[in-house]
Amino acid sequence: MLPGVIIAAGRLILQHLKFSMKANAPGQSALLLLDIIPLLEKRRLSYAVIGAFAASFYGAIRASLDADAVISIKEKDIAPFMSEVQGLGLRISHDRGDARDPVRAVIRVEDAFMNRVDLLLGIRGVGEDVFSRVVNAQFMDASINIVGIEDFIVMKIFAGGLKDIADVNGVLAVSKEKVDLPLLKNLISKHTPKEQEQLGKLLRAHYYTGS
């Protein structure tokens, strides 16, 4: 084998080890997400960690193996990104939602241990400005962008499931002093009256119980 080929192969092996060493057993989807984030940052793709990871960050601890992020990526950049992820020995798929689906598309990444990361390519009612409100946090020596607490609350109300509302209650019970209420009310104003009413109930329960 030619020396140049050997060097190139060595670099690929080192790159693979660099990105795969965190997640090395089942139940480590959060670590797989940490493996994926450097690829997003390398391509300068905006992202915000959401779901159970964000819920835990804001104080609503629940047993979940989910690791999700919403990302901003142009159509022409999807295939190269997926190819790079596949090059690390990970399985990846790209599913598009229909007109009724609240999520425009999802890129799913899985490793050999069945850990999974869902990268959401657009959520109905969530604009690009969501990335300007992320909170940078440290997790296992990594710097990651967590969705802002107001956006987190609105996303959960929009999702509307029992666990989603429980997450909002958990976050407000622990971190309500971190919430920018005018911003939160402005964000929810872009959604339906039903969702605005749901926020009103949650705010009354956590802020106005003494009145």
Which CATH number does the domain housing residue 66 bear? 3.30.460.40
Comparison of pLDDT for 208 and 105, the residue scoring more: 105
Tell me the DSSP string of 100-122.
T-SBSEEEEEE-TT--EEEEES-
Q: Structural domain of residue 199, as residue ranges?
A: 149-211
Angstrom distances, CA of residue 112 to CA of 26, 50, 92, 131, 175: 9, 23, 12, 31, 36
Pairing mode of beta strands 116-120, 105-110: antiparallel
Mean pLDDT of 81-85: 95
Q: How many structural domains compose the chain?
A: 2
> Looking at the domain assignment, is residue 113 inside a domain?
yes
Q: Are residues 161 and 129 in the same domain?
A: no
> Looking at the domain assignment, is residue 179 inside a domain?
yes
Structure tokens at 84: 């790079």
Comparison of pLDDT for 112 and 24, the residue scoring more: 112
Q: Which of 131, 147, 163 is the last residue of a domain?
A: 147
Do the Cβ atoms of 37 and 81 come closer than 8 Å? no
Dist CA 107 CA 184 (whole Å)? 28
Residues 126-142 pLDDT 10s: 889 999 999 999 988 88
Question: How many CB atoms within 10 Å of residue 112?
Answer: 12
